[in-house]
Amino acid sequence: MSRPPGRKQEYHKISRELFVLTYGALVAQLCKDYEKDEDVNTCLDRMGYGIGVRLIDDFLARSSVKKCRSYSETADVIAQVAFKMYLGVTPSVSCSSAAGNEFSLILDKNPLVDFVEELPAERASLCYCNLLCGVIRGALEMVHLAAEVTFLQDRLKGDAVTEIGITFLRKAEDRKHKRN
* Higher pLDDT, residue 162 or 10: 162
* 122-162 tens-digit pLDDT: 999 999 999 999 999 999 999 999 999 999 999 999 898 99
Confidence of residue 4 (pLDDT cuts 50, 70, 90): low
Q: How many CA atoms lie within 13 A of 66 on its CB side?
A: 3
Please report the pLDDT score of residue 96 as a whole number: 78
Determine the topology of domain 16-168 in CATH: Muramoyl-pentapeptide Carboxypeptidase; domain 2 (3.30.1380)
Q: How many angstroms separate the Cα of 174 from the Cα of each of 47, 139, 143, 144, 171?
A: 26, 17, 11, 8, 9
* 28-57 tens-digit pLDDT: 999 999 999 999 999 999 999 999 999 999
In the chain, where the domains are located: 16-168
* 93-115 tens-digit pLDDT: 998 788 889 999 999 989 899 88
Rounded to an integer, what distance in angstroms lies between the CA atom of residue 130 and that of residue 138?
A: 13
Rounded to an integer, what distance in angstroms lies between the CA atom of residue 11 and that of residue 38?
A: 35
